């Protein structure tokens, strides 16, 4: 999605096209007085409206400079991972999840519009709420159309899809990554998320993945608990900031 245009920042083509204005991301996870000023100058020279910074939370200098340079805190990004066969890994169980099909897409999009409100795009009110909803509806549709290596869903009886999970595999097939996970609001807390996770783990094992990673938000405690019960452990924490111009 990103095309490098500077040692300090990259324009994000997909984000810019989707939201309708130039969006960029800082290359570094830390700020100095000089690099911070250079990022702002570069952004202004390139008519950037929003600059993302994914920062190292251990850098007190970065936190202080981000505040001084008017970057707004929007999220804490938590990455969890699971080593297949590790002692903490739960036994992979048979899952009732099935592969999502093209006719499922409208129902999955409807779920997606309300399933990701913990994300930074909802927390940052500079992004129109309707557009943030569209972001995840577009995301799940593209994943179902082949961008993801596997999309699973769950249904009960004639209910239609109750949720989804998207899966991607590295080129060497050793590492899997869970992308989007969403459950219809009326079925949250009823085992749908667990069924989806089990289905994803089952699929990753079937294709030979040795490690699985997933990213969620610190504010999404329910998701963290779900992954932890499956044996995932926190691997890294980063802080998202947005700077608007």
CATH number at residue 115: 3.40.630.30
Residue 113, phi then psi, degrees to nearest 5: -65, -25
Same domain, 159 and 203: yes
**In a domain? residue 245:** no
Note down the domain range covering 171: 82-237
**In a domain? residue 218:** yes
Q: What is the pLDDT of residues 123-151, one digit of tens each?
A: 999 999 999 999 999 999 999 999 999 99
Same domain, 35 and 122: no
Q: Which of 25, 43, 70 is the last residue of a domain?
A: 70
Same domain, 96 and 149: yes
User: Does 3 have pLDDT greater than 60?
Assistant: no
**In a domain? residue 156:** yes
Same domain, 57 and 18: yes
Torsion of CA 115, 104, 156, 137, to 10 degrees: 0
Same domain, 36 and 142: no
Same domain, 14 and 37: yes
What is the rounded average pLDDT for all residues in the chain? Answer: 94
CA distance to 80, 113, 180, 222, 225, per residue, from 117 (Å): 20, 8, 13, 13, 18
Of residues 87 and 217, more confidence is placed in: 217
Same domain, 41 and 96: no
Q: Which of 46, 70, 94 is the last residue of a domain?
A: 70
Number of domains, the chain: 2
Same domain, 210 and 173: yes
**In a domain? residue 77:** no
Same domain, 101 and 52: no
Same domain, 233 and 146: yes
Q: What is the pLDDT of residues 46-86, one digit of tens each?
A: 999 999 999 999 999 999 999 999 999 999 999 999 998 76
**In a domain? residue 101:** yes
**In a domain? residue 196:** yes
Same domain, 183 and 105: yes
Same domain, 50 and 107: no
Based on its alpha-carbon atoms, the radius of gyration of the chain, rounded to whole angstroms, reads 19
């Amino acid at each position: 999605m990103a095309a490098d245009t500077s040692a300090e920042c990259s324009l994000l083509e997909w984000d810019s096209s989707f939201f309708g204005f130039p969006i960029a991301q800082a290359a570094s996870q830390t700020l100095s007085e000089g690099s911070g000023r250079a990022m702002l100058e570069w952004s202004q020279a390139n008519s950037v409206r929003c600059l993302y910074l994914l920062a190292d939370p251990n850098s007190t200098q970065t936190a202080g400079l981000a505040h001084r340079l008017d970057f707004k805190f929007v999220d804490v990004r938590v990455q969890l991972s699971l080593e297949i066969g590790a002692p903490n890994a739960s036994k992979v169980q048979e899952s009732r999840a099935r592969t999502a099909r093209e006719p499922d897409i409208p129902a999955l999009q409807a779920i997606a519009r309300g399933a990701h409100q913990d994300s930074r795009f909802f927390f940052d009110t500079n992004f129109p709420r309707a557009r943030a909803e569209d972001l995840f509806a577009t995301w799940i549709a593209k994943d179902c159309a082949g961008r993801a290596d596997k999309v699973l869903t769950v249904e009960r009886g004639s209910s239609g899809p109750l949720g989804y999970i998207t899966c991607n595999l590295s080129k060497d097939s050793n590492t899997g990554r869970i992308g989007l996970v969403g459950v219809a609001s009326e079925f949250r807390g009823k085992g749908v998320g667990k069924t989806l996770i089990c289905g994803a783990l089952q699929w990753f094992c079937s294709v030979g993945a040795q490690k699985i990673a997933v990213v969620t938000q610190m504010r999404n405690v329910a998701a963290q608990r779900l992954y932890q019960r499956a044996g995932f452990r926190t691997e890294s924490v980063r802080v998202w900031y947005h700077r608007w111009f």
